[in-house]
């Protein structure tokens, strides 16, 4: 029987955060370990499709290089914050990557521009602080369809503006599904900006329709204001 899931936890870990997985491919989770542990996965590289890295504070650009030897990698989670020492350039050499989660904040010094060169990237999740400059660096991401800021448990820190958010939506022509957990004021500003913007047309030549998906409390406040190509939906588990 082939190995389906593997988890490695560091000595300081008291509560494991590994996601459940019942598929037939290989899912690997690392938590609280030294970043160079990634290099030891090389022998498994050809079979790993999902990799979750939690709480590795010494993560660097070099730490991500071994992942270029994971030809089947489809989903990657980097949780605990991306530091100034990390460039996302190696991700451009992950040919099958289509789901990426960067949790814990992305500082101004880190550019998301390399993600615009990830040919299959469809879904991106950013949580923690996400400044305007970080969103602007993602401009024109060609295949991006789903963008998540924050999660159901914790709102995204209000480091971005509605203007930057709208610029990104306008520039990513395939983007249609927006999950957003933020303050009520930011949510209203985003909805207003999207409704007032010229969002252009989709690949079929039809006016774009954006789904703005928000937690229950924010949904109740915004639903009556939807329109002009923007639908407000409730974010459920």
Tell me the per-residue pLDDT of 136-153, one tens digit each, with 9 for 90 and over. Answer: 999 999 999 999 987 767
The pTM for the full model equals 0.86
29, β-bridge pairs: 7, 52
Nearest to 142 by CA among 166, 112, 163, 122: 122
pLDDT band at 10 (very low <50, low <70, confident <90, very high): very low
Q: Spell out the domains of the chain, with CATH numbers in brackets.
A: 1-97 (no CATH), 100-237 (3.80.10)
Report pLDDT for 74. Answer: 92
User: Which of the two residues, 26 and 102, has the higher pLDDT score?
Assistant: 102
Decide if 203 contacts 174 (C-beta within 8 A): yes
106: exposed, middle or buried (C-beta count within 10 Å: 0-12, 13-18, 19+)?
buried
Decide if 59 contacts 33 (C-beta within 8 A): no
Report pLDDT for 24. Answer: 52
As a whole-number percent, the residues of the chain with pLDDT over 90 amount to 41
């Amino acid at each position: 029987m082939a190995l389906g899931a593997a988890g490695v936890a560091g000595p300081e870990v008291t509560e494991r955060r590994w996601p459940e997985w019942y598929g037939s491919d290989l899912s690997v989770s690392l938590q609280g370990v030294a970043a160079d542990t990634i290099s030891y996965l090389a022998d498994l590289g050809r079979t790993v499709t999902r990799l979750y890295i939690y709480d590795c504070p010494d993560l660097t650009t070099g730490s991500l290089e071994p992942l270029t030897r994971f030809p089947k990698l489809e989903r990657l989670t980097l949780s605990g914050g991306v530091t100034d020492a990390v460039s996302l350039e190696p991700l451009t050499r992950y040919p099958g990557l289509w789901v990426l989660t960067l949790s814990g904040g992305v500082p101004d010094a880190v550019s998301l521009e390399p993600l615009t060169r990830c040919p299959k990237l469809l879904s991106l999740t950013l949580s923690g602080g996400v400044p305007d400059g970080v969103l602007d660096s993602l401009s024109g991401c060609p295949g991006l369809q789903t963008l998540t800021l924050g999660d159901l448990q914790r709102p995204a820190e209000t480091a971005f503006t509605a203007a930057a958010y709208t610029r990104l939506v306008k520039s990513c022509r395939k983007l249609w599904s927006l999950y957003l957990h933020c303050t009520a004021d930011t949510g209203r500003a985003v909805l207003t900006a999207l409704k007032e913007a010229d969002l252009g047309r989709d690949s079929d030549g039809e006016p774009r329709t954006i789904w703005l998906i928000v937690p229950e409390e924010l949904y109740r406040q915004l639903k009556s204001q939807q329109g002009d190509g923007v639908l407000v939906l409730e974010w459920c588990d």
